[in-house]
Structure 1
């Protein structure tokens, strides 16, 4: 379980990115975080894997106080939390398989890091991850010969190879065409269902968020302004998340309560 308790994040320039965040996310949930650019969505998910340190409050994952971890503890913790970026963060001049094997580098003895020697077990895990996302046949192809959607699948396979408990995705389909974006979201949903990994996605595509996520968290100006099941998100709720039209949301909520 992931729990935010009165979490705040203030950047050095005194910009408050997050304020009074209180959330509980259970194991196996598929959560989409939506809101305007600059609302705090990326900061919210990057606090979970300690890419950003919180300024106040507590962030607890399975009983571990994440904000109290130091040094090696942070590195060990991050192995449980996979991260997928919009830019893929792949080395395009090497093969797909080698890109996935990169996920094991932090665990290699120094001599193996120097010569790039991976164990048979690690290679099997990498190939299994590629099979999970449907691109096993591309294992020995250079990444720069793949489409954008295939590259995103390589990034997902690299994350899966480390067998995380949580997968965070920061705008994973922003640079993809609609058909490819749907294929990637299908992969996310299938893996979430089959493995019970927790998926938390920061996403601008509202229609995709409502279709694939079980739960929607709406963020505006660093605060959580909506938290509920995707099926309960209405036009009024979206208007509230993106425009802050409080009176309209309250009026419609009251009207529905009398029906």
Structure 2
């Protein structure tokens, strides 16, 4: 379980990214996070893997207060929290399978890392992850020969290979055409249902958020202004989430 208790984030320039967030996320949930650009959606999900450290409050994951994690403990924690970015973050001139195998490097002995030696078990794990996102047939193709949607699937496979319990996705389909966006969202949904992984997706497309998510968190000016079932959200609520704060 992920638990936010009075969590706030203030950036060094004084911008308030999050304001007094209080909520709980149960294991296995599929949550869409919506709001205007700059509302605090990315800040919200990045506090969970400590890419953003909170300023006030308490953030616990599986009863561990993550703000106090340092060094090896923080690195081990981050292995359990996968992150998928809009820009894929792949190495373009190497093969698809080598990109996926790169996620296993932190768990490998230094000598094997230096020599680039992966075990049979590692390779099978990478191939299994690619199979889960229908990219097994592209395993030995150079990554820069793939379409945007295919690259995002490789990014997802790379994250799956590290066996996380939580998947965070920051605008994973923003650069994709509608058909491909649905295909990638189908992958997230299937992984959530088959593997039971908690999925939190910061998503610009409201229609996709409502279609795929069971729960919606709406953020406006750093505050959670809606937290509830996707099928109970109304146009009035959406209008409020996407309205500009007059105090800004």
Report the TM-score when normalising by structure 1.
Answer: 0.93
Deviations for 1:86-132, whole angstroms, at most 9, x for unmatched residues? 00000010000000000011111111111111111111100000000
Distance 1:82 1:211 in 2: 23
Distance 1:164 1:119 in 2: 20
Q: Which residue of 2 aligns with 1:126?
A: 126
After TM superposition, give the deviation of residue 244 of structure 1 in Å. Answer: 6.3
Deviations for 1:182-228, whole angstroms, at most 9, x for unmatched residues? 00000100110111100000001000000000000000000000000
Gaps of at least 5 residues in structure 2 are none
Q: Which residue of 2 aligns with 1:211?
A: 211
Q: Which residue of 1 aligns with 2:8?
A: 8
| RMSD of Structure 2 on Structure 1 (CA) | 1.1
Report the TM-score when normalising by structure 2.
Answer: 0.98
Deviations for 1:16-64, whole angstroms, at most 9, x for unmatched residues? 1001000100000000000000000000000000101000100000111
Distance 2:71 2:6 in 1: 25
Mapping for residues 101-140 of structure 1, pairs under 5 Å: 101-140=101-140
Mapping for residues 154-173 of structure 1, pairs under 5 Å: 154-173=154-173
Q: Which residue of 1 aligns with 2:39?
A: 39
SS at match of 1:99: helix
Q: Which residue of 2 aligns with 1:48?
A: 48
Count of matched residue positions in the alignment of Structure 1 and Structure 2: 246
SS at match of 2:242: helix
SS at match of 1:226: strand
**1:26 maps onto 2:33 in alignment:** no
Q: Which residue of 1 aligns with 2:141?
A: 141
Specify the structure having the higher radius of gyration (Cα): 1
SS at match of 1:243: coil
**1:241 maps onto 2:241 in alignment:** yes
After TM superposition, give the deviation of residue 82 of structure 1 in Å. Answer: 0.3
Distance 1:244 1:217 in 2: 17
SS at match of 2:140: coil
**1:201 maps onto 2:201 in alignment:** yes
Structure 1 stretches of at least 4 aligned residues deviating more than 3 Å after TM superposition: none
Deviations for 1:120-163, whole angstroms, at most 9, x for unmatched residues? 11111000000000010000000011111100000000011011
Distance 2:125 2:83 in 1: 18
Distance 1:26 1:19 in 2: 21
Q: Which residue of 2 aligns with 1:248?
A: none
Distance 2:120 2:170 in 1: 31
Q: Which residue of 2 aligns with 1:92?
A: 92
Distance 1:13 1:151 in 2: 35
Q: Which residue of 2 aligns with 1:226?
A: 226
